[in-house]
Amino acid sequence: MKGKHRWVVSVVGLVAALSWALGIFHPVGAKAGKEPYKVGAVFAITGTASFLGEPEKKTAEMIAEEINAQGGIDGHPLQLIIYDDESDATKSTLAVKKLIKTDQVPVIIGPTQSDASLAVAPIAEEAQVPLISCAASYKIVEPVSERRWVFKVAGSDKHVVGKMYDYMKAKGITKIGIMTASTGFGASGREELLRLAAEYGITVLADERYGPKDTDLTAQLTKMREAKVEAIVNWSVGPTQVLAVKGWRDLKMDNIPLFQSHGFGNRKNIELAGGAAEGVLLPLARVNVGPLLPDTQPQKKVIMAYTQAYEKKYNEPVSSFGGHAWDSLHLAVAALKAVGPNPAKIRDFLENTKGFVGQHGIFNFSPQDHNGLSKDDLEMVVVKNGDWALAPW
Amino acid sequence: MTHREKASFIALTVFLAVFPWIAGMSRSFGHYIDVMIFAGIFCLVTLGLSLLMGFAGQISLAQAAFFGIGAYGSGILTGHFHWNPWAALLASAGAAAAVAWIVGVPALRLKGHYLAMATLGFGVIVHIVMNEEVDWTGGPSGLGGIPGMSCAGRKISGDAAWFYLVWAFVLAAFLFSRHVLHSRIGRALRAIHDDEKAAEAMGVPVSILKVQVFVYSAVLASVGGSLYAHYVSFLSPGSFDLMWSVRFVLMVVVGGMQSLWGALVGTVLLTFIGNEWLQVFADFEILVYGGILLVMALFVPQGLVVWLDALVRSKARPVSTPSDNGS
Amino acid sequence: MADIFHGAAWLQYALGGVTIGAIYALVALGYNIIYNVTEIINFAQGEFVMLGGLFGVFYYQTCGLPLGAAVLCAVATVGLTGLLLERYVIRRARHATVLSMIIVTIAFSILLKGGAMLAWGKDPYRLPAFSRSGAFLWQGVAVQPQALWVLGISAVVVGVLTVFFRTSFYGKAMLACADNAEAARLVGIPVRTMVLLSFGLSAAVGAVAGAAICPITLMEYDRGALLGLKGFGAAVLGGLGQFYGALVAGIVLGLAESLCAGYVSSGYKDAVALVLLMLALFFKPEGLFGSKEAAGLKRF
């Protein structure tokens, strides 16, 4: 057995040494000529949030390729350094520190998730490097006095909820039941749903929660029925969204309108629901429904360009998440183009950007608003014939 | 301490003392300080675990839960109630000890697989509580705004300061654990590990000792958690789930269960592999972890440190063959 | 009298609970089979359930087989995985400490999960229901036909296994191996083969559960861990090694979970199974149907 032991450990040692060597020598993408402009990125490419991070990574890489094919940013090649935080806030911290210390990037995009973003925001503040997060929690950019260097490009949940409540008000719905997943995403949605209800004259009669890996939501749905609600809001991502839809249909509750969060905005979810999703309503970023938009819609052009390029290259439909990466990277690139790789100048540029047409809306940043979006940047969408359609008001 | 061990320990201390200075000089390696800080925090968790697994022969899949109790305890006490961080650290450790006692007394009467499942169940329950008690823990959205720590009046900020603080704790824990191992308690533990019934027949208070070790490992993990909370200043339940408990077990298994050095080596090695060197294989991380664990458990169950140690010793001893001419 | 049934919330919860409980029962059966023959707890049991569902999807969607054939092929494939697990991993660790064995099966479960992630990605997948996919109303509550399939299949599996272990030659031989491997070998029972078969059988049973539940709950690569843990809870609650105990305990667990979600707190639902597991381990480790004496004689 001894020989076998030695062999096994030598192989392990060799692999470790190899990885170490590969790790030290970062691929340097500089060509002869102008110095590359670096942009750091942290995405949840693997782990529980990989369905968010993967499209972000793909989008970012696609954009970097496009830009470099067109000669870079004023001749400077764009060097995108992407780290995978594996959906783990500890690793996001390390990744951001590495980007700042070792790779010395002037601007960082990501992380993908809210908790990672909240963990790394103080690091960006302290190191004074601008960070454009792709996550949604409003806490990422508030309080503004502690977040001078942190921006986000994802719409806040309060916008999504606001849009949903607007629609409900228009349809005369006043009593609702909510069911949310006990994840960061679900908890944030629940907070906003409860907080904004009174403003729109809505009462929440049932407030149910479930785990992200739950296999059965009939209990929660039954409680909704018991509470005699006029509409149900489900707020989660992952398979529970589909389970909610199927349960809603199976329990013959489809006379009560079902609203989903924007997390449902992926055609795969409609497929997985197997036809049960007809009539489900949700507020969605326009990036998902490019072809449905009227030509007068100012975002249509960039959305269609992105949609076509992404679907051609990766053979999968676009998603909101990839849209976040598009928005953050293009903002970073616009800043680099305008002021060069200087963190402080980039920060100032971003803070004063107005009218930036992106995938998720038209961004208007200001010193008090590092998010730049509003509920008007969303569309109310309904599932019809197995695809999206704009919901009639 | 044996001469060799003393020398190793001094070497380690010197290395740790100069590491931030050396690493700070290089751009590529400067980042290693950050990784080492996390490695040190994790070492606190695994030192106790290695005592539990290697010497008391018990498995615990709940270390991440105790790590979390320390982290959230410190986070809530200092964040919500504005306690002094050191007081919070002690209080959280006390809470962890109490919980470990309550769970340990019935659980450690179980053996083998039953115990593993009991600790697994307990760990998952704690994780669920972290997620559900939103008012206290912030739930899945996490707990932020945790203040930093200060030592002797000066605030601990900057990576070098954290590095020294964390590793000072690790060295202290290491020395204390070593002291325990070489005392009467340590001998009793070894007796339990070798043959529990025999030990009991000899008058060793088996159940009590097992619980004591369990509590000790929980306390160390909790201290690590408190340091983690103040270092990262933001907690989310995802850092304390079952996969983390498995990772801690993996660190101990790789380094060596029957050796405190093993815990340190295994932890540092795996932290670096996981965060630095295997970036290339990010997608395969789960597979690689599982593979390493399997290979180690099957072929090198004593762990790397003991294995290497034996290898070195067998090489050092000259083997006389018949063809030697009288020496 | 009919009123307390019609449209009652508790009935809805109960139905959901019994359905998921049947799955826990099947998982528990898997643990019991291996335990009965080897006294090992296979931590990878949950992963077999996950693989059953995902392989079912593979054979049905990717290979285009009809549903019944796809399920059978999935069960066979996962059974094969179980055989491989025993032959190349467990057998090597047979003489290691219990601790090593635990770590080995945990490691294998991680490998299976990682492999599934690479093969199928992180998305959930769905199998169509075995019969008409529409739910029908009974007494005002919605019943899914698939739930009836799950219950039916579980009952059949339990029945078959009980008969197998009690009356068939191979079954009795397997049980003999657990009681005393040396004695079994002495009377000519090929112990190694019996152990091998037990793993294959256990994996197959897990796969059946996975394929049966997939139409209702979808399946993705990391479902295994929690299912495995709860299934183990059912196994312990029912008494390790007792098949009928597993069935009853599984259903009890599912009901408790579902009723808790309905009436107490939906967020703490998962904790119910775990708390019951821990209570069982602490106070009645031989389970509801096991005997204390027999439990005391077991290896650990």
The DSSP string of C241-293 is T-HHHHHHHHHHHHHHHHHHHHHT-STTHHHHHHHHHHHHHHH-TTTTTS-HH
pLDDT at B113 over 50: yes
Q: Which of A55-59, A66-70, B29-33, B241-245 has the lowest mean pLDDT?
A: B29-33
pLDDT at B208 over 80: yes
Q: In the structure, what pLDDT confidence band is assigned to residue B291 with cuts at 50, 70 and 90?
A: confident
- Residue A314, CB half-sphere, CA atoms under 13 Å: how many? 20
C107 contacts B290? CB cut-off 8 A? yes
Higher per-residue confidence, B152 vs C264: C264
Short-list A276, A266, A296, CA closest to A388: A266
A272 contacts C266? CB cut-off 8 A? no
State pLDDT tens for residues A36-65.
Answer: 999 999 999 877 788 889 899 999 999 999
State pLDDT tens for residues A279-313.
Answer: 999 999 898 888 889 888 899 999 999 999 999 99
The pLDDT assigned to B143 comes to: 84
Q: Nearest residue of C to residue B301 by CA position? A: C100
State pLDDT tens for residues C67-89.
Answer: 889 999 999 999 999 999 888 88
Q: Is C97 helix (H, G, I), strand (E, B) or coil?
A: coil
**Has residue B56 been placed in a domain?**
yes
Q: Nearest residue of A to residue B303 by CA position? A: A9
Two tokens at B30? Answer: 């400067």
The pLDDT assigned to B287 comes to: 81
The pLDDT assigned to C5 comes to: 57
Q: Which region, left, alpha or beta, applies to residue A162 given φ > 0 means left and ψ of -120 to 50 means alpha?
A: alpha
CA dihedral (B268, B272, B273, B277) positive or negative: negative
What CATH number has the domain bearing residue B296? Answer: 1.10.3470
A104 contacts B234? CB cut-off 8 A? no
Q: In the structure, what pLDDT confidence band is assigned to residue B283 with cuts at 50, 70 and 90?
A: low
**Has residue B321 been placed in a domain?**
no
* Chains with 3 or more CB pairs under 8 A to chain B: A, C
Two tokens at A58? Answer: 């793909």
Q: Supply the pTM of this predicted model.
A: 0.83
Q: Can you give the residue range of the structural domain that contains B225?
A: 16-316
How many A×B Cβ pairs under 8 Å?
Answer: 117
- Number of domains chain B contains: 1
From chain B, pick out residues whose CB is under 8 angstroms from the CB of A16.
Answer: 269, 273, 277
Q: Nearest residue of C to residue A248 by CA position? A: C142
**Has residue B162 been placed in a domain?**
yes
**Has residue B1 been placed in a domain?**
no
Cross-chain CB nearest to C123 (options A218, A252, A268): A268
State pLDDT tens for residues C36-56.
Answer: 888 788 889 999 999 999 999
C285 contacts B286? CB cut-off 8 A? no
Q: Where are the alpha helices (DSSP H) in B108-241?
A: 112-132, 134-137, 159-181, 184-194, 196-201, 206-232
How far apart are the CA of C134 and the nearest CA of chain B, in angstroms? 34
The complex scores an ipTM of 0.82
State pLDDT tens for residues A226-250.
Answer: 889 999 999 998 888 998 998 898 8
B139 contacts A139? CB cut-off 8 A? no
Beta strand segments in chain C, E:
136-138, 141-143
C144 contacts A223? CB cut-off 8 A? no
**Has residue B325 been placed in a domain?**
no
Looking up tokens 């051609």 gives A312
From chain B, pick out residues whose CB is under 8 angstroms from the CB of C267.
Answer: 128, 131-132
B297 contacts C104? CB cut-off 8 A? yes
State pLDDT tens for residues B258-278.
Answer: 788 888 999 998 888 877 766
Low-confidence ranges of chain A (pLDDT < 50): 1-5, 7, 22-31
Q: Nearest residue of A to residue B159 by CA position? A: A97
The pLDDT assigned to A25 comes to: 44
Of A31-40, B276-285, C9-18, highest mean pLDDT: C9-18
A51 contacts C267? CB cut-off 8 A? no
**Has residue B3 been placed in a domain?**
no
From chain B, pick out residues whose CB is under 8 angstroms from the CB of C276.
Answer: none
**Has residue B324 been placed in a domain?**
no
Cross-chain CB nearest to C229 (options B121, B257, B283): B121
Pairing type for strands A387-390 and A354-357 reads: unpaired
pLDDT at C25 over 60: yes
* Chains with 3 or more CB pairs under 8 A to chain A: B, C
B111 contacts C98? CB cut-off 8 A? yes
Cross-chain CB nearest to C267 (options A182, A216, A243): A182
Higher per-residue confidence, B206 vs A202: A202
B233 contacts A8? CB cut-off 8 A? no
B282 contacts A23? CB cut-off 8 A? no
The pLDDT assigned to B64 comes to: 94
How far apart are the CA of B188 and the nearest CA of chain A, in angstroms? 31
C275 contacts B286? CB cut-off 8 A? no
Short-list C111, C66, C82, CA closest to C204: C82
Task: Give the CA radius of gyration of chain C.
Answer: 19
B286 contacts C117? CB cut-off 8 A? yes
**Has residue B323 been placed in a domain?**
no
The pLDDT assigned to A363 comes to: 94
Q: Nearest residue of B to residue A47 by CA position? A: B283
From chain C, pick out residues whose CB is under 8 angstroms from the CB of B289.
Answer: 110, 114
Cross-chain CB nearest to C102 (options B107, B116, B294): B116
Backbone angles phi, psi at B173, to 5 degrees: -60, -40
Which run of H or E residues covers position B156? Answer: none
Q: Nearest residue of A to residue B272 by CA position? A: A20
